[in-house]
Structure 1
Amino acid sequence: AIVDQIKKKKLTRPSINKNDPDITISIFLDDNKFKVYSDSSGVSLHKRGYRNKIHKAALNESLAAGLVMLSNWDMKSPFYDTMCGSGTIALEAALIAYKIAPGLLRSNFAFQQWNNYNKKLYYKIKKEAEDNITMNDKIEIYGYDSEFANIVMAIYSTKLLNLNKYIKFKKQEMSTFCSDSNKGTLIINPPYGERLGDDDSTNLLYKMIGDVFKTRCNGFDCYVFTANLEAAKNIGLQTSKKIVLKNGSLDSRLLYYPIQKGTYNKKGSN
């Protein structure tokens, strides 16, 4: 209908790319009333621009940022994701810690096609965001994963963000995790079971997570984000908090396990 109206007024029919339109119009019908919206963003804002290569089960970037913000991380103690996949949680932690606006890598927004788009104002605001970036090499952020291919993807993203000197990614099994710090924050998003395809293996995985928390994370704030609450029971620790969240269509929880110093014997070595 919009294209037809344009043709009536301009006598030419505009060429429309249905997959990547310059301007997106959304119409909602509610009780015989129409609401018409013009999309100002274009590509969804959760797409930061640093994930050209991602793990098939990677978290939505906005969700990953939310997990970090819901944690008790003080940015003074180390931050770990010991099942990092393609690194989304650690990358979002870095964006927050270094005050990097999440949209800085994006090349365009839909509002730039609007007639009232103020180019001068846009670049002024963008420059202010760039000037607000505060790099700090004292902030420690680590991402570990058992799959080397995942680490390669994570490192690729750090290079796009110019953070390869600030986030330390490496191939390492969670079962061998050990930190020299007596305080830290650890957030993981382990397989829920459907990705692993074996309930017994999933239960053993979650039991291993609990064992690592007990023996290698004294003084840490540990968080597990999962949609498999049955498997999470195998962690074998009492949660201090359960935060209800959605991961796409999946009902999920961010489970908080504060590991008190001295409660368990710390084992293992670097």
Structure 2
Amino acid sequence: MLPISMQDLVNLRHLDIRETKLNEMPIGMNKLKSLQFLRYYVVGKHEGNKMRELGALAHLHQSICISHLENEARMSDKDGIDLLDLYWSSNENENIVDFQNEKDIPDKLQPHSNLKELVIRDYKGITFPDWLGHFSYHNITKIRMTGCRNCRMLPSLGQLPSLKHLFISNFSRLEIVGAEFYRDDESCLETPFPMLEVLSFWSMSCWKEWHSFELNAFPQLRELTISRCPMLRGDLPNHLPSLRNKVLEGKHSVESAIEVTMNAFCCVLIHPRSNF
């Protein structure tokens, strides 16, 4: 733990506590109003070290990772934050999860539209908040989502106009990737994933189907990785004009399903442990 007198460092501008084993932040962090860089924040269980303490830190910028979010769920006014890393404890008992409360947490953590990179780790809810994938987040270029084991549906990330890198892993209950991945009821982009260059799926143990309804999707996709998705079969995107590299690991049906149209296909990278 950090010393309880941390709140007296009113001129402190930079606090980097990455790679530590802190259980929670000390009480009174909201008094450090000069703080500009705070890479890591651990939400506590008691009043005085909750998420609301960050609300008073108006000068934060660059990036921040918020851990132990299950202890509580305002980031919307932090226009200087480029990277937001939302992290739930991975060792929580998932059999007693309050799913509505889990969804309320990221709802309250809606970031400013200036955000450029987003990481979501070990989220325990069933569905994602409405802001995730909304086209108003026109600056987001990278998203990483991992360990969201209760989610059965991906958010509509195809409506993010500047998204270039997307990494999805360990969605152990997701079985189908469908139309919701490309667009939602408020969609405004005619071409889903217009700028996406790198797309990776890892360790999706129950993923069976990828319904590719959007023939014009992924016009800029250069790299596609599908690894450790043993149940995936057929009906994958079959028109990827910019694809250069693909990494496939799994059954031969995945390989045969991707009949890719490419302008200048350079190489196929097969994982060393593949069954091809």
Q: What TM-score does the superposition give when structure 1 sets the normalisation length?
A: 0.26
Higher relative contact order (CA 8 A, sep 6+): 1
More helix by share: 1
Q: What TM-score does the superposition give when structure 2 sets the normalisation length?
A: 0.25
